[in-house]
Structure 1
Amino acid sequence: MSKYEHLWKWIRDNGTDSFKLTYAEIEEIAGVPIDHSFLKYKKELLEYGFCVGNISMKEETVMFQRVK
């Protein structure tokens, strides 16, 4: 089980095709702190029908998009 599995399931089930989450929101949903390993784990999200779009270090946000 991936440490981000709760986040991936939440993203899959939220019903939106494209949206942005803050780092704090990601940490709350995932139940773990977001760290550099997120870049490694983000490819798992494809299995849930989504991909990671833009990651803004300045705004501390991550854009998620449904894969079509």
Structure 2
Amino acid sequence: MSKYNNLWEYIESCGKDQFVLTFEEINSIAGVPLDHSFLKFKKELLEYGYKVEKISMKEKKVIFLKNN
């Protein structure tokens, strides 16, 4: 079980083709602070039908894209 499972399940349940979450929203949904390990764990999201399209450190947001 990954520390980001809550986040992955939330993303999967959204069903949108593309959406954006702020770092703060991710922290709240995941229940853990977003940290550097997110880069390692983000590959798990592929199992839920999505991928991380872009991480913006400047805007503090992540763009998620549904795999087609």
Normalising by the residue count of structure 2, what TM-score does the alignment of the two structures yield? 0.98
Shift of 1:26: 0.2
Size of the aligned set, in residue pairs, is 68
In the alignment, the residues of structure 2 paired with residue 31 and residue 55 of structure 1 have an alpha-carbon distance, to the nearest angstrom, of: 19
Q: Which aligned segments of 4 or more residues in structure 1 are displaced greater than 6 angstroms?
A: none
Match of 2:55 in 1: 55
Q: Which runs of 5+ in 2 are unaligned?
A: none
Match of 2:21 in 1: 21
Match of 1:65 in 2: 65
Coordinate RMSD, CA, aligned: 0.4
Q: Which runs of 5+ in 1 are unaligned?
A: none
Q: Deviations over 1:18-63 (max 9, x none)?
A: 0010000000000000000000000000000000011000000000
